[in-house]
Structures are given as C-alpha cells and as structure tokens.
Chain A
C-alpha cells in the first residue's frame, strides 16, 4: 500500500486528487477477489471523475463478487514530479495499490490528445509500454471508448480494445481473465489474448498485420490468428432500459467538472450530422423508460446528495418523453433542493420553453450550435437547423429574459467558402439586432465559439482532407476582422492542436513510434494549452520519418483501404460514402429515429433496433421532424 507523506503532499496543488476515500467507493480485499481491474482515465482527476463510461464499468465490475475495480487518474505534473522523486509508483485510489499489481489496466479513450498520458501513466506504473514487452506476468493493458474505433495509433501499446457499449463486454473479459488465472495462466499471454479475441466487440491488434502500398497508403489489414474476426463488430446493449446503471456513484470531495447526478436518458443519436462520430458509433438510439429514469434519479439523489440532475445524452432534447420526464422530476425534487438541467439545447423554441422550466432561477447564458454560417453549408453537414429556427430560438430566449447567448460553429468543413465563414459573423450580428428589436435596446452579449473541423473516422467526412493550418488561421483572421463589436466575444482553437488531433484521429499503426518518441521528449497533457508543445511533436515526426500531412491533409480515394476498416461500428462504409456524396450535393437525410430508415446497416447488421418510447414512433413517418 502506497503511503503519502505530508512533507510532499503539502507541495502539490489540490492534493485531494490523490487521496481517495470518497463517498461510495468500493474497497475490496485483493485477497478475496479473482480478478482486479484498474480503471484509468488519462487526464487529471477533476476531468476523469466526470466520465460516465468509467462510472458504469466501475459499478458493473464491482457488482461481481469476485472482481474488484479501482480508479486511477493521471497525476498533474507537480504530483508526477513528487512521485518520480520519491519513487512512488502510480496507484489506485481505493486501496492505494500499485497499478502493476492489477490483472487488467483499462484506459478510456475520449480524446486523441490524451494518448501521451497513457504512455506516461504506464511508465509511472512501471509497466512496460509496448504490448510486445509484456508477458503473462504483467498487467493486461486494454482500452475502450470512442477513440477505440480507430485503435491503430495505440496498437503497439494496448493488448486489446473493446469496441462499443462496454456493459456486457467487460463482464465477458472479467470471466475470461478469471478462467485463465484459474488455469495457472496456462498458455501464457497468447492464450488470454486468444480467449478474449473470441468475445464480441474485442479487438486484439497483435492478431492483425497491416500491409502498405509503396506510396504509404494502406493495402490491407490481414488476420494472422484463427481467433481474429474480420471485421471486429462493436458490442451493443440491446435493452438499455434493463441495463445496469451506476445508482451509487463515487461522490468526489473536490469540485470536479461535472459534479452532479448524470442521468443517461438514451444512447445514440441519429440526427445524422455528417461531421459527428458519436452519431455513428453509438447507433441506434435506445431510450430508457421514463419510470426507469425517475426511479434511478431518486436512487442517485438518495445515494449522493447532489443538488442537480443533469439529463445527459448526445441530444437530450430529443428524448421522446422529455416534457413528462422534466415535469415529473421537477415536481418530485423541488422540495428536496434538487434542480434539473439540460446540457444541450436544440435550436428551437421548444427547447427554450424547456430551458425556462428547468432553469427557472438561473439566467446564465444559453448555448446553441448552428455549426455553420450559411444554410448551404448547414445542409452539407446535415445539420437540420434553419435561420428561422435559430431566430425563433434566440428570440424566445431573449423574450424569456436571457441576454447572453453562446453560439458554436466549425470552420474548415467540406465545400466551405469565405461566404460561409462570413455567414458566422452575420449570424452573430443578427442575434445582436434581434435583441434590440425585441427589447428596444442594446444589451445582448454574444459569444462566438469557433472550432476547427477535424474529420473523424467512421463519419461521412472520413475521406476529406482537413484544412491545413495556414488556411484555418486565415479563416480565423477573417472572422476576427469581422467580429469587432464589443458585445461579441470570439473564441477559436489553436490550429496546431486541431492538426495533431486530425493526424491521430485518422492515423495508422505507424504513428505508434511517433507517439513514443514525442512522449520520450516530454509530451504529455497535450490537450492542455500550457503543456502542448508542437515543436516536440514536429521533432518526433521528423525522427520517425513520418509526414503528418499524409494522415490529416490528404483527400482519400473512396476505394482506399482505411486504417479502421476492420473495426466496425455496424454502419456500412457504403452508407457513409452515400452520405458524403449527399453532402457534396447539399442533400438532406432525415433522422431515422422517427423518420424514414436510411438503411445505414446497424440494425440489420447487428440485430438491434431503435427504441423510442414516444407515440407514433412505429408509424415510420417519412418526413423529418425538424
């Protein structure tokens, strides 16, 4: 057990990040369990404690009597320094146990720029970084989460990946590990990898060999092991309503990013925004029943004492029974000092009514995401929002008393022209004018937040060449010159960060050596501007003889083998290509949740169906509802 001494704990900021003992932690005696999992989030505690996926896995694993799951987060740089000086290996918060003692160390992959932290955490744990250097005596290093859908840049470091919903897969993995250990780890590491490879949703990269053309493009990924499936399909929970949900989550002492009850209304979103990876990999929509949610909400409040329930989902406003649910929640919890919040709003007046209802008290700003500045470009990305929708939504917000509006956009989208970029500024000014028209005076504050579009694998735009840094900077400059009003504030993203994100998002296995080299030269916490060092990355690419532009800035052929083709979200590549073509033609695709089925391949291919408890869902109306 790791002991922390006050002589150095007094020197680090927020030492409570490293001392555990929170409410509702599950602490099991390692001697009484057959398999142990360290659930790792490759960023600081404050960020990692907000992740719902890990809460779910923690709950499910700890429900198993012979399995223990504990938590670990990336120590901030000050604590890392202390740990290295004092010779303290990375440890979990439940039993202060060194990571290397665990059977499985599982990382969640939420963001490409957290990859160096994974290497750093393994190093701090004294676990060999390369999967090939680890034997049956070492921990198995596994990973899941959205970025696992292009696992290749991490293939050198991770023994196996878990694709899709983890609720069922993680249990299968636990059972496989227990059996393997019972057999005295017979057959060594090769045996456990073969066993897990048979589990639906598990990808063992060592069982596949990438083959490249002379020009560097991928020729094929071939299986080299009888247990290797091609493709590896994601795992999916068919009955989300009946799935286990963490009703007694760990409650942090520290003020973490999302410090409230997280109530997941549904999984999946089929609005079909063509830039959105989550909209593909979590398909199809599966809702929980309102009565299930009410019951969970009460249990969660009783077990945590939180004062806020956040209705989390990819697009919570689309929940079929939202009105009733919100009313019931407010009614039930108003006397318990608990409020209800919606993290995302749809751009329509319905959402404003809802926002009014849930935020009776707070007049903090409202956020909308038109994503693009012109109708033409919004049609390209299939963002079903019109100028009129926005006008109505913002107008309703102003009438209801809000005066601060935040607008999210992207630049660098396919087919974008400078007119589309100027359109962003036009919208910002229209919003200011609208306030003046409604209120008869100036006084609105508009924040325009513009991120740079990064094409993601498994989306309709996976073939598209990302705008280069010069072009994005030019567009940012253009917007800066247009957004000069003192009531408009303009935020944009560092182009270098978006470029690197783009490289790793669509990278292949050859990026492993770049990652290793960058980490060796000190790269870590790349998602934090104060730690991001582009020069280190440039040097790492140079030393590895790899041109990052090859991954991010190249238009890919439609028939090109993509590094993630053997990893399947269930959505057909042909469907994505059809969507890409529709995008270029400005054609819209309706939401299959209540509209016509677009035949993306998920339901038929994976034997699942859309579950939506709203009335009329099964009528399969042929027009969209937006």
Chain B
C-alpha cells in the first residue's frame, strides 16, 4: 500500500466553497486522473483520502495538505503529472511525496496555521489605528470570545491559540495582518474570529466581513522547529 501526501491550493475563484465541496472536488480529480486510488471496504466504499485541516468558507489557501492511499505503487512524480492535468484551474498542485514509514495522521500531525488577512483601505487614519489595535491585542493577556454554535455557545480565550504576536503592515491596498494560530486537539480559533474581536473589541478599522483571508501555511511545530508536512 502506497500513501501519498499532496500539497495543494484553494484559489480565489473558489473562495466560497466549503471544505466538503473542496474535498469532493479533489476526489473527482483523483478519479479523473485514473490513478489507482484505494477504496474502503464495506457497504458504501469511499476513497481513502484525508485532509490536514478543514478550511472555512470564504478562505483561500496556499498550503492545503491531503493524503491519499493507492492500491498499487505509483511514483509521486507520476501522480503529480496525472493530477496536475485533471485539477480545475482553481486548484494548483505544488508538491507530492510518498509517505514513508509509520506516521501520525495528517490531522494529528499539523498543529500550527499561518494566515494572511487583507483588510481593505479604510481612511487616512488606518495605519495608526490599526497598529494601535494590534499592539493592544498583543499586550492583552486574556481575550475572551464566545464561539457561537447551534449546539450551544462556548466561551474561549483566544490568546491561548495565538502562537505569535499578530503583525500588521499598512500598504496601498489596506492593512495586511499576519496571524499564527495553534491547532490543538481541544480546538483552535478561526482567523475570522480573531479579526472580529480585533474590530469589535480593539477598534481595528474596517468591516471584518470585507476582509480577504488566506491560509499561507500549515505546519508541524516541534519545540522551535517549524516544518511543513512535506518535510516530515
């Protein structure tokens, strides 16, 4: 049994599709590629594939990771070529590697996400107000936020999931934020949630709904070493 790990993207054009839709799109691309993908046994066979971390509706990504099992060995290069040919233009494939030896599931392995957020230009005072908001957020030890959920609301401390100080640069398009977030077995925080708090509680300028969010990296951080799943 061969297991391959893929590094792929989610483009601007499909920003608004859900993780499930994204996964189905990959499944269909794999089927079109005619690679010998393995299926589960049982009543309702499904393709043996898994993702590192679900991406929210509205978020693009430069670093999505998925694993797929093959029933026959095929080289990573061959799968790359076959799949590159079958992906819609909205998804790019960057790297493929064979998973050698026993490794944890992708989902259990990845523990850190980096997001880039562009908040559209919002007045002449944007730079000053934005930097002030971010620095106050960074200095605050505990930032409580109520995660809304149909099954009941839950209060979390956002700062527990913030791995590094949030950074902000203001350019001609607006403010560009960088956010590094822990993904833990107990949960994580969405970049949109952090942004909402920044706007509503720290007076960050602009409307959080207008922001463009991109996941620029997903990592495995062990002590001070930050590795891409492709380097594991």
Q: Nearest Cβ distance between residue B195 and chain A, in whole angstroms?
A: 11
Q: Give the residues from 265 to 312 in chain A that come closer than 8 angstroms, CB to CB, to chain B.
A: 301-307
Are A16 and B13 closer than 8 Å at their CB atoms?
A: no
Cα-based distance from A296 to B22 in the complex (angstroms): 26
Known contacts A255-B20, A255-B21; is A361 also within 8 Å of B88 by CB? no
Are B209 and A6 closer than 8 Å at their CB atoms?
A: yes
Q: Nearest Cβ distance between residue B141 and chain A, in whole angstroms?
A: 30
Are A22 and B31 closer than 8 Å at their CB atoms?
A: no
Are B30 and A305 closer than 8 Å at their CB atoms?
A: yes
Residues of B within 8 A of A307 (CB): 27-28, 31
Known contacts A16-B17, A21-B90, A253-B21; is A10 also within 8 Å of B43 by CB? no
Q: Is B44 an interface residue (CB 8 A)?
A: yes
Residues of B within 8 A of A253 (CB): 14, 17, 21-22, 24-25
Residues of A within 8 A of B15 (CB): 6, 19
Known contacts A10-B209, A21-B88, A253-B25; is A336 also within 8 Å of B31 by CB? yes
Q: Is A15 an interface residue (CB 8 A)?
A: yes
Tally of A-B residue pairs with Cβ under 8 A? 85
0/1 per residue, A143-172, Cβ < 8 Å to B? 000000000000000000000000000000
Residues of A within 8 A of B45 (CB): 337, 361
Are B86 and A6 closer than 8 Å at their CB atoms?
A: no
Q: Is A5 an interface residue (CB 8 A)?
A: yes
Cα-based distance from A302 to B32 in the complex (angstroms): 5
Residues of A within 8 A of B22 (CB): 253
Are B58 and A15 closer than 8 Å at their CB atoms?
A: yes
Q: Give the residues from 7 to 52 in chain B that come closer than 8 angstroms, CB to CB, to chain A.
A: 13-18, 20-22, 24-25, 27-32, 34, 37, 39, 42-45, 47
Q: Is B212 an interface residue (CB 8 A)?
A: yes
Known contacts A16-B21, A23-B88; is A303 also within 8 Å of B32 by CB? yes
Are A6 and B212 closer than 8 Å at their CB atoms?
A: yes
0/1 per residue, A4-34, Cβ < 8 Å to B? 0111111100011011111100000000000
Q: Nearest Cβ distance between residue A541 and chain B, in whole angstroms?
A: 40
Nearest residue (CB) in A for B118 is A6
Q: Is A186 an interface residue (CB 8 A)?
A: no
Q: Nearest Cβ distance between residue A525 and chain B, in whole angstroms?
A: 22
Q: Is A263 an interface residue (CB 8 A)?
A: no
Q: Give the residues from 186 to 232 in chain B that come closer than 8 angstroms, CB to CB, to chain A.
A: 207, 209-212
Residues of B within 8 A of A255 (CB): 20-21, 24
Cα-based distance from A21 to B60 in the complex (angstroms): 15
Residues of B within 8 A of A355 (CB): none
Are A5 and B210 closer than 8 Å at their CB atoms?
A: yes
Q: Is B57 an interface residue (CB 8 A)?
A: yes
Residues of A within 8 A of B29 (CB): 305
Q: Nearest Cβ distance between residue B214 and chain A, in whole angstroms?
A: 12
Cα-based distance from A273 to B206 in the complex (angstroms): 63
Contact of A19 among B16, B18, B47, B209 (CB under 8 A): B16
What is the interface residue range for chain A against chain B?
Answer: 20 to 34
Nearest residue (CB) in A for B42 is A361
Q: Nearest Cβ distance between residue A364 and chain B, in whole angstroms?
A: 10
Are B14 and A21 closer than 8 Å at their CB atoms?
A: yes
Contact of A254 among B13, B17, B34 (CB under 8 A): B17
Are B31 and A337 closer than 8 Å at their CB atoms?
A: yes
Q: Is A486 an interface residue (CB 8 A)?
A: no
Residues of A within 8 A of B25 (CB): 23, 253
Are B58 and A9 closer than 8 Å at their CB atoms?
A: yes
Residues of A within 8 A of B17 (CB): 16, 19, 253-254
0/1 per residue, A231-269, Cβ < 8 Å to B? 000000000000000000001011100000000000000
Cα-based distance from A21 to B28 in the complex (angstroms): 16
Residues of B within 8 A of A8 (CB): 209
Cα-based distance from A47 to B29 in the complex (angstroms): 23
Contact of A6 among B14, B28, B44, B58 (CB under 8 A): B58
Q: Is A441 an interface residue (CB 8 A)?
A: no
Known contacts A10-B58, A16-B14, A362-B44; is A251 also within 8 Å of B28 by CB? yes
Cα-based distance from A252 to B24 in the complex (angstroms): 10
Contact of B13 among A6, A10, A19 (CB under 8 A): A19
Contact of B207 among A7, A18, A22, A336 (CB under 8 A): A7
Cα-based distance from A153 to B185 in the complex (angstroms): 60
Residues of A within 8 A of B89 (CB): 21
Nearest residue (CB) in B for A336 is B31
Q: Nearest Cβ distance between residue A368 and chain B, in whole angstroms?
A: 23
Residues of B within 8 A of A11 (CB): 209
Q: Give the residues from 490 to 507 in chain A that come closer than 8 angstroms, CB to CB, to chain B.
A: none
Cα-based distance from A306 to B47 in the complex (angstroms): 12
Residues of B within 8 A of A305 (CB): 27-32, 86
Q: Nearest Cβ distance between residue A51 and chain B, in whole angstroms?
A: 20
Cα-based distance from A7 to B118 in the complex (angstroms): 12
Residues of A within 8 A of B34 (CB): 336
Residues of A within 8 A of B212 (CB): 6
Q: Nearest Cβ distance between residue B156 and chain A, in whole angstroms?
A: 21
Q: Nearest Cβ distance between residue B64 and chain A, in whole angstroms?
A: 15
Cα-based distance from A320 to B194 in the complex (angstroms): 62
Are A16 and B88 closer than 8 Å at their CB atoms?
A: no
Cα-based distance from A361 to B14 in the complex (angstroms): 33
Cα-based distance from A19 to B17 in the complex (angstroms): 9
Cα-based distance from A596 to B131 in the complex (angstroms): 85
Known contacts A6-B58, A15-B16, A21-B90; is A362 also within 8 Å of B43 by CB? yes
Cα-based distance from A305 to B35 in the complex (angstroms): 12
Nearest residue (CB) in B for A21 is B13
Q: Nearest Cβ distance between residue A404 and chain B, in whole angstroms?
A: 15
Known contacts A6-B210, A21-B13; is A254 also within 8 Å of B31 by CB? no
Contact of A361 among B27, B44, B211 (CB under 8 A): B44
Cα-based distance from A251 to B17 in the complex (angstroms): 13
Cα-based distance from A174 to B14 in the complex (angstroms): 32
Q: Nearest Cβ distance between residue A50 and chain B, in whole angstroms?
A: 16
Are A15 and B13 closer than 8 Å at their CB atoms?
A: no
Q: Nearest Cβ distance between residue A202 and chain B, in whole angstroms?
A: 37
Residues of B within 8 A of A251 (CB): 28
Residues of A within 8 A of B90 (CB): 21
Q: Give the residues from 43 to 99 in chain B that come closer than 8 angstroms, CB to CB, to chain A.
A: 43-45, 47, 57-58, 86, 88-90
Cα-based distance from A119 to B31 in the complex (angstroms): 41
Residues of A within 8 A of B37 (CB): 337
Contact of B47 among A10, A22, A254, A337 (CB under 8 A): A337
Residues of A within 8 A of B207 (CB): 7
Residues of A within 8 A of B14 (CB): 16, 19, 21, 253
Cα-based distance from A281 to B204 in the complex (angstroms): 63
Q: Nearest Cβ distance between residue A308 and chain B, in whole angstroms?
A: 11
Cα-based distance from A337 to B225 in the complex (angstroms): 41
Are A304 and B32 closer than 8 Å at their CB atoms?
A: yes
Cα-based distance from A251 to B14 in the complex (angstroms): 13
Q: Nearest Cβ distance between residue A96 and chain B, in whole angstroms?
A: 11
Task: Mark B residues whose CB is within 8 Å of A.
Answer: 13-18, 20-22, 24-25, 27-32, 34, 37, 39, 42-45, 47, 57-58, 86, 88-90, 207, 209-212
A–B Cβ pairs within 8 angstroms, 21 of them: A5-B210, A6-B211, A6-B212, A7-B209, A9-B58, A10-B209, A16-B14, A19-B13, A21-B13, A251-B28, A253-B17, A253-B22, A253-B25, A254-B17, A304-B32, A305-B29, A305-B86, A307-B28, A337-B31, A337-B45, A361-B42
Given A7-B207, A23-B25, A305-B32: 6 more A-B contacts, CB < 8 Å: A6-B210, A10-B58, A16-B16, A21-B89, A21-B90, A23-B28
Q: What are the 5 tightest A-B residue pairs by CB atom distance, in nearest-first order?
A: A305-B28, A15-B16, A7-B210, A21-B13, A305-B31
